[in-house]
Structure 1
Amino acid sequence: MIEVTRLNGTQILVNADLIELVEETPDTVITFTTGRKIIVKESRQQIKSLVKSYKREIMETGFEAENEN
């Protein structure tokens, strides 16, 4: 999950695995595989960085758990 900020300032967690599309129109719109869309304050590049960090964290956690056994 990544944390993003709605235009009203509310922070929410979204499932990064369900993100289908991120576009700036000029507001940043995240479209999910479910068809739902949300507008957030973060830029497209910030969303990309958040998703990459999230995926990296998941991979590292899995790698560490695998090496403990």
Structure 2
Amino acid sequence: MITLTKLNDKQFSLNALFIEQVESFPDTTITLTNGKKFVVKETETEVQLKVIEFYQKINVLGLRKSLEG
């Protein structure tokens, strides 16, 4: 799950696995695989970074960060 902020400043969690598309209109609009849309305060780049971090955390597509000890 990634935490995002709606335009009314309320935060919510979104399962990043269901994100199909992220666009800027100029507001960032996220479209899910079921067609539902969310408009958020975060930039498109911020959303992309959160998704990558989430994928690394759950080890999707072998994107796990190397563990340095």
Deviation at 1:14, TM superposition (A): 0.3
Moved over 6 A (4+): none
Q: Which is greater in Rg?
A: 1
Q: Partner of 1:63 in structure 2?
A: none
TM-score using structure 1 length: 0.85
Structure 2: distance between partners of 1:13 and 1:28: 16
Structure 2: distance between partners of 1:10 and 1:35: 21
Q: Partner of 1:53 in structure 2?
A: 53
> Unaligned stretches of 5+ in structure 1?
61-69
Deviation at 1:29, TM superposition (A): 0.2
SS at match of 1:9: coil
What value does the CA root-mean-square deviation take over the aligned residues?
1.2
Q: Partner of 2:36 in structure 1?
A: 36
